[in-house]
Structure 1
Amino acid sequence: MHRYLVMYLMMEQSGRGSGGVLLVAAGFLYGVLHALGPGHGKFVVTTWLATGREQARAGWC
């Protein structure tokens, strides 16, 4: 994963257009995988899903 992040960063620095988009996407994917790992991540994801559903229901009513 580290190699890909470095590669995307180097693509962005060299002026290639897709490097920044790939860097943000890879960072987001890494964050999701990190949140699903052991520890507090599962609590954060569960809380987000639980409150997100309530907010979605409140928006429709």
Structure 2
Amino acid sequence: MGGFAEALRERVRAARAALAVAVEAEDAYEVAVAQDELDDAVRVAWRHGIDVGADGAVADEG
């Protein structure tokens, strides 16, 4: 599951970055879209046992 897990972690990272940009821009629509993507990515990670942290932060598996 290494490739899948890394792709999912990257999806979480990208979603968090998009959310930060949207919040900074004070764009309510983009905040909602980015938050939905982050929520979905975290939900998929959880279903597959991939720890991305409670807030969506990607946890180090080391």
Q: Which structure is larger by alpha-carbon Rg, 1 or 2?
A: 1
By relative contact order (CA 8 Å, sep 6+), the higher-ranking structure is 2
Which one of the candidate residues 2, 13, 27 is aligned to 2:9?
2
- The residue type paired with residue 27 of structure 1 is V
Classify the secondary structure of the residue corresponding to 2:39: helix
- TM (normalized to structure 1)? 0.50
Secondary structure of 1:27's match?
helix
Q: How many residues are paired up?
A: 35
- Give 1:1-61 correspondences, 5 Å limit: 1-15=8-22, 16-17=30-31, 18-34=33-49
Deviation, structure 1 residue 33: 1.1
- After TM superposition, the runs of 4+ consecutive aligned structure 1 residues lying more than 3 A away are none
Gaps of 5+ in 1: 36-61
TM-score (norm 2): 0.49
SS in 2 for 1:14: helix
CA RMSD of superposed structures (Å): 1.7
